[in-house]
A and B are shown apart, each in its own frame.
Chain A
Amino acid sequence: DIQMTQSPSTLSASVGDRVTITCRASRYISTWLAWYQQKPGKAPKLLIYKASSLETGVPSRFSGSGSGTEFTLIISSLQPDDFATYYCQQYNSNPLTFGGGTKVEIK
């Protein structure tokens, strides 16, 4: 199985901050990586696929980059609606695997 490791596990930030979340794959996955946002009591929401493609309707302050084994999700200017948990997911091979999540908290 491909292990996905996210860092940090928790991040405290203020509105307007630039936030960077990292996801590392245990093996090469090209750009077969998605990012999701999940709020408490809600289903995950797709933000980015193929490492850097923004899902329709997702604000442009979200961006993704990386390939191979190292990936990042950047929120350029954190908004109140962005406080949530973020997960990466590899879809290079089965079993599909998710990172452990990064909780973005209010500082």
Chain B
Amino acid sequence: EVQLVQSGAEVKEPGESLKISCEGSGYDFTSYWIGWVRHMPGKGLEWMGTIYPGDSDTRYSPSFEGQVIISADKSTNTAYLQWRSLKASDTALYYCARRADSFEFFHYWGQGTLVTVSS
């Protein structure tokens, strides 16, 4: 069974750094792109970027390039989303999702990680 399990909720202050994770199981982690999607309170879904764990090829949405870092560790079947300096506007629910084989829609989703940034 394909599963994506994300790390737990985080509460941070503005300016702090953060790295959240998404562990895949039940499939060949290196062979499927993993995407990150932001869901801000009361808003729609936003694609942030996607990584291919096999070779760490990464594509970013222009809206998020330079704002976050997406990485993956194929030795632990884990993808990461990282901020160097959080802002209050980063408060949101973040999902990882496994892309379909050859197309950029998402078959499987993690349970989401709530990130709250507040002073």
Contacts and interface: CB of A to CB of B under 8 A. Distances in A.
Interface residues of B, number: 22
Contacts, number: 56
A49 B47 contact: no
Contacts of A49: 100, 103, 105
A66 interface: no
Interface string B75-119: 000000000000000000001010010011111011110000000
Interface in B33-56: 35, 37, 44-47
Nearest to B109: A43
Contacts of B61: 94-96
Interface string A65-107: 0000000000000000000000101010011111111000000
Interface of A: 1, 32, 34, 36, 43-46, 49-50, 55, 87, 89, 91, 94-101
